[in-house]
Amino acid sequence: MIKVFIIDDSMLIRNFIHKLLKNNKTIIIIGESSNPVDAMEEFKKTGLPDVFILDIEMPKMDGITFLKKIKSEKPIPTIIFSSLVNEGSSKAMEALHYGACDVIMKPQKLSNGLSGEFMEDFTSKVKAAAHSKYINDLDYKMKEKIERLKDSNKVIGIGASTGGVQTIESIVYNLHPFHPPIVITQHMPAGFTYSFANRLNKTCTNSTIKEAQEGDILQSGFIYIAPGDLHLEVNVNKENKYICSLKNYPKVSSHKPSVDVLFKSMSKVVKSNTIAFLLTGMGKDGVQGLKLIKDVSGDTYGQDEESSIVYGMPKVAFDQGYVQKQVNISDVVTLINEME
């Protein structure tokens, strides 16, 4: 049984979460509070949960401060449930940086949130958080000589879900300049990927990082992140250069953007020059795409269990034989930096 504790200053929202989870036989809400300070008193009665559902702006103590506190004392999987996500909030991005497993945008109308799709998505993220683990040190520091890479036809594809924000940060901060172009599909809400890309671009010195736009030409030293409400594909333009192509069609493998969509396009266009990494996340998005890349002699890697926050997607791919090699975060950095 997954024990959940809700911290939100709105009684309306707390009641809404109760409605979302009340019929799930594997989840139980053990307590709730309007702010983190009072919540810490409640823990003396209820004990600590398996998962926190946490707002950002609250009286007495904000959600980010609370997240930092539990991270330093006793890390517990946390889902941010906030209206700020719609704005690509820097605070929501900061929450993921400090260890939140996922971010869910509060629906504008709570009645809309009781739809089957929203309830299923909310429940699956609670379950993913409960099965996640805290990786003590994702900040892999690589001290290597930085040299310019030779021009290459290679394109790197990365797919990630729960835990991917911290993992991707740890990778891109340690890349050498002039690495092959990198395209990333990270499961995130619309609007939030723009904030994620901008934050990385401001703090990462060796790469130019942006939210992918239609027609972007893939260039060495650049990283392109799929927008939160569109599928990202790799295509070619009239000059036969690789470009980003954005598609607005329904979810694939239960996600939009979908890793399977990205990897499938790379298997058709980039073919054997594809290097694909399937990272942390629950479910199986990216598994079939990885198979297609392996079938055309591209290189396929899956994150190993020890370094994965949620060993889901890469496990399925490995178990089905589509991962040529399992890697940790440091391995990913080394592989990319050594590519020519």
Catalytic residue among 187, 216, 265, 267: 187
pLDDT tens digits, 112-152: 777 788 888 899 999 999 988 776 545 444 444 334 334 46
Q: For the ranges 29-33, 176-180, 230-234, which has the lowest average pLDDT?
A: 176-180
pLDDT tens digits, 197-227: 998 999 898 999 999 999 999 999 999 999 9
Residues whose CB falls within 8 Å of the CB of residue 255, separated by 6 or more in sequence, listed in order = 161, 187, 283, 285
Specify the pLDDT at position 162. Answer: 92
Contact 53, 17 (CB under 8 A): yes
Specify the pLDDT at position 151. Answer: 46
Residues whose CB falls within 8 Å of the CB of residue 158, separated by 6 or more in sequence, listed in order = 168, 171, 182, 183, 184, 185, 186, 276, 277, 279
Question: In the chain, what percentage of residues exceed pLDDT 90?
Answer: 73
Return d(Cα 255, Cα 231) in angstroms, integer.
9
| Second CATH level (architecture) for the domain 155-337 | 3-Layer(aba) Sandwich (3.40)
Residue 222: enclosing H or E segment and its boundaries? Answer: strand 222-225
Specify the pLDDT at position 131. Answer: 87
DSSP state string for 271-300: GGGEEEEE-SBSS-TTHHHHHHHHHTT-EE
Instruction: Please give the structure tokens belonging to residue 26.
Output: 């594997």
Return d(Cα 231, Cα 154) in angstroms, integer.
21
Mean predicted lDDT score pLDDT of the chain? 90
Specify the pLDDT at position 88. Answer: 54
Specify the pLDDT at position 143. Answer: 40
Specify the pLDDT at position 117. Answer: 83
Specify the pLDDT at position 136. Answer: 59
Residues whose CB falls within 8 Å of the CB of residue 116, separated by 6 or more in sequence, listed in order = none
Same fold for the domain at 2-130 and the one at 155-337? yes
Nearest Cα to Cα of residue 179 among 151, 208, 220, 217: 220
Q: What is the DSSP letter of 242?
A: E
Specify the pLDDT at position 153. Answer: 87
pLDDT tens digits, 36-95: 999 999 999 999 999 999 999 899 999 999 999 988 888 899 999 987 655 556 777 888
Specify the pLDDT at position 148. Answer: 39
User: In which band, very low, low, confident or very high, does the pLDDT at 176 lie, cut at 50, 70 and 90?
Assistant: very high
Domain boundaries, the chain: 2-130, 155-337
Question: In 22-178, which ranges are continuous DSSP H helix?
Answer: 36-46, 63-73, 90-97, 116-130, 164-172
Nearest Cα to Cα of residue 103 among 55, 146, 174: 55
Contact 234, 266 (CB under 8 A): yes
Specify the pLDDT at position 86. Answer: 58
Burial class (CB in 10 A: 0-12, 13-18, 19+), 157: buried
Specify the pLDDT at position 141. Answer: 46
pLDDT tens digits, 315-334: 999 999 999 999 999 999 99
Catalytic residue among 161, 195, 307, 308: 161
Inform me whether the pLDDT recorded for 102 exceeds 70. yes
2-130: CATH topology is: Rossmann fold (3.40.50)
Specify the pLDDT at position 135. Answer: 66
Q: Is 285 a residue of the active site? A: yes
* HSE toward the beta carbon, residue 317, CA cutoff 13 A: 39
Global pTM value: 0.84
pLDDT tens digits, 258-317: 999 999 999 999 999 999 999 999 999 999 999 999 999 999 999 999 999 999 999 999
* HSE toward the beta carbon, residue 199, CA cutoff 13 A: 19
Specify the pLDDT at position 301. Answer: 98
Specify the pLDDT at position 87. Answer: 53
Contact 87, 191 (CB under 8 A): yes
Contact 331, 306 (CB under 8 A): no
Per DSSP, the three-state class of 70 is helix
Catalytic residue among 102, 285, 299, 304: 285
Q: Is 50 a residue of the active site? A: no
